[in-house]
Structure formats: C-alpha cells, structure tokens
Amino acid sequence: MHDTAPLKYPERIELARIPTPLQKMTRLGRKLGVEVFFKRDDLTGSALSGNKIRKLEFILADARTNGADTVLTCGGAQSNHCRATALAAARVGLESLLLLRTPDPDHPPAPDGNILLDRMAGAEIVWVTPEEYQQRDVLFQREADRLRAAGKKPYIIPEGGSTALGAWGYVRAMAELAADLTAIDGGPVKPTTVISATGSGGTTAGLLLGAQLLNLDVRVAGVNVCNDRDYFVQVISGICTDFFKTQFKGGATKPARPVEIIDGYVGRGYALSRPEELRAICELARLEGVVLDPVYTGKAFFGMLAELEKNRHAFGSRIVFYHTGGLFGLFPIFEQVATVL
C-alpha cells in the first residue's frame, strides 16, 4: 500500500521532462528469470537529462529565492551533475562555476563528452587535483569569496546536489513510481526492489525518504560506484536525518528505513571501467535498445546482474532499476568500448 495524501513540496522550477516512462524489460527479464522494469530517468531531457535535474528543480529555485546570480558545484571531469547544473543554470539565467577533478590541472582533459557541454553552457571551469578536491569545501569558499569580491552573489551546491533540499527531487520521483506501479498492479503495489547507482547519495536518500513518507511496500537498494558501504550508510543516513530536521514538517520525525548498499562493484574505481562492465552495457543495448553510462548506471547494472547470478531471488520477484542517465560519459572512452564490441 501507499499513502495517497499529497506531500507539501518546497518551491521548484520545472526543468525535467516528467513523468518519465516505466519500461518493462521483457527480454532481459526472461533472461534473468525475474520481472525487470527500468524507470527511464535518462529521459528527463536531452542535453539537460538524468537524475540530477530532479534535484536541481528545488535547489535552483532556492538559489533564485536567495538572490544568487552564480552557482558553484563540483565533480569529476565528466560529471553529469556539473553538466546538468551548467545547462540548468543557463536555462534559468544564472552563471555557473565548476570545480572539476583531474590528475593534472595544467593539462586538463580534452573538451569532449560532458566537458564540451559544460563549455557550451558558458560554465567557468576550475581544474583541481584529486588531493585538492578532498578539501572542496575550502575551495568552494575561496571561489565564492573571489566572486563576491567581483560583485557576484554565489550559491554553493554540494557534490551531486545531494542535500536535504535536493532529496525532494527523488521523494517526488518515488511518488511518481508509486503511481506507475499502482497502475500496473491495479491496486496495492506488489513487493518491489528499487535499485539505483549511488555516487553521492542524494538519489538513494530521496528514494528511501519517498518510500517512507508514502508508506510504499518497496525495498530500496543502492549499488555504490565509489567509496564503500560504510561511507554511504553514513552519508545517506545524514541526508535523511537532515531532511526530517530541516525540510519535512509532517508527522515523521526521523528516518525509519535502513540504508541498503550493495558493495563490491566499484571495480577499478570511480569512472574507471572494466571490460566486463562495458560488455554488460553493450549486451543490454543489443538486447533492449537501452544505453547505460560507464560511470554510474553501467556499474550498478553490472552489480545487479552479478548478485542475480549468485541468487536469482536476491531482489524478489520484481525489480525497478533507475536509469539515471549519463550517456555522454561513453564518448570519451570510445576506444575502451570498441575493444568489447
């Protein structure tokens, strides 16, 4: 069952093409021996696409309310979040500054994939080393002070937009999914496992919060694409706790659902692909005509397949896999992809 009482959402700017389709993966499900659906959040737009847009609808509304004219955020060189932020900021009339991580800032990566789109959107890019990135809060303040000295009004968006405010994006997404599943089941929602990639924690936190607030009979599991299980249990729990402390004024006062992280599939590391991961991406494209990305959804999908190979009943009789976008991350690694074709 789920609660049909409407939630009171904060102010948002309409950026995403929603609702997104819930697509049944018939051939994949037959192959795996379990019912599989993909929630196609890769279709929230074209260049302005993916899961980050749902969060940015609320975050950029807050930035405008606070009189900001420039947003600052951070990520890896091919960050989907940074690309989405740059394009969304341009769409609502804000400037953007991106702290992007690369081994050698004096020789940054070529402007392809998301970097090309960042530049096309007019973002200022500040390249930083992985070591400097660990102190990104300090870098944020340094760049914000520089902008203020130039007469700007900066607004800082943490990595991935993974904040209590940003979590509303995936609370809303879970309400959308509840409507999808209710339509399929013709009544109460059958037990379902919702799986997503976990890279900064905000999407998984929002899904967990949505399941709790809607009293929805779903299991939420994240496949971490960096760090480890303990790290993300702490991060996601923190977002959920902060959400109830600062955002939600209803009856619930604290997170009630456990954080489930499926660890062991980071592979070579964040944004580094293994041949078996790329093969899984290519095989899905041939089987269902759906393209995943190598950084997030590809790793999460590979992890899901590996868990099902060990135990076909690992996730119950029905899975909803959140396709959170990121197509542009494939293009900079085309040579690696070509080796598995």
List pLDDT tens digits, range 277-310: 999 999 999 999 999 999 999 999 999 999 999 9
Note the pLDDT of residue 250.
66
Q: Do 104 and 192 reside in the same domain of the chain? A: no
> Of 106, 138, 161, which marks where a domain is finished?
161
Give domain status of residue 236, yes or no: yes
pLDDT band of residue 106 (cuts 50, 70, 90) is very high
Do 147 and 168 fall into the same domain?
Answer: no
Q: Same structural domain for residues 252 and 284? A: yes
> Could you tell me if 240 and 316 lie in one domain?
yes
Look at the alpha carbons of 22, 25, 30, 31 in this order and tell me if their dihedral is positive or negative. Answer: negative
Give the whole-angstrom CA distance, residue 270 versus residue 293: 13
- Report the relative pairing of strands 35-40 and 22-24 from DSSP bridges: antiparallel
Residues 321 and 219 in one domain: yes
Question: Is 15 part of a structural domain of the chain?
Answer: no
Higher pLDDT, 187 or 5: 187
196 tagged catalytic: no
Q: 217 and 322 in one domain? A: yes
- In this structure, is residue 138 part of a structural domain? yes
- 265/300 same-domain check: yes
Count up the domains in the chain and report the number: 2
pLDDT recorded at residue 257: 86
Position 259 pLDDT exceeds 70: yes
Q: Indicate if 94 and 129 belong to the same structural domain.
A: yes
Q: What is the CATH number for 269?
A: 3.40.50.1100
Query: What percent of the chain shows pLDDT beyond 90?
Result: 93
pLDDT, mean of residues 188-198: 95
Per the rule left: phi > 0, alpha: psi between -120 and 50, beta: everything else, 235 is: alpha
Mean pLDDT value across residues 25-53: 97
* Percentage above 70 pLDDT, the chain: 97
If one compares 253 and 5, the residue with the highest pLDDT of the two is 253
Does residue 252 surpass a pLDDT of 70? no
pLDDT at 162 over 70: yes
Q: Are residues 253 and 195 in the same domain?
A: yes
With a cut of 70, say whether residue 312 has pLDDT above it: yes
Question: Is the residue at 59 inside a domain?
Answer: yes
Name the band, by pLDDT with cuts 50, 70 and 90, for residue 4: very low
What lies within 8 Å, CB to CB, of 199 at 6+ separation is 160, 224, 225, 226, 270, 295, 296
Please say if the pLDDT value at position 73 is more than 70: yes
**Domain final position from 116, 132, 161:** 161
> How much is the pLDDT for 63?
98
Tokens of 55: 């969060």
State the average pLDDT over residues 173-197: 96
The token pair that represents 158 in the structure block: 């943490």
- Mean pLDDT for 183-200 is 95
Sign, CA dihedral 17-14-177-196, equals positive
Domain-embedded: residue 101: yes
pLDDT average, residue stretch 204-226:
96
Tokens of 19: 């609702």
pLDDT at position 1 is 43
The catalytic position among 49, 79, 96, 200 is 79
Q: What is the pLDDT of residue 325?
A: 97
Q: Which domain holds residue 320?
A: 22-47+164-338
Mean pLDDT of the chain, nearest integer: 95
State how far the Cα of 4 lies from the Cα of 150, in Å rounded to an integer: 49
Indicate the residue among 161, 190, 210 that finishes a domain: 161
Residue 128 shares a structural domain with residue 233: no
Confidence band for 97, pLDDT divided at 50, 70 and 90 = very high
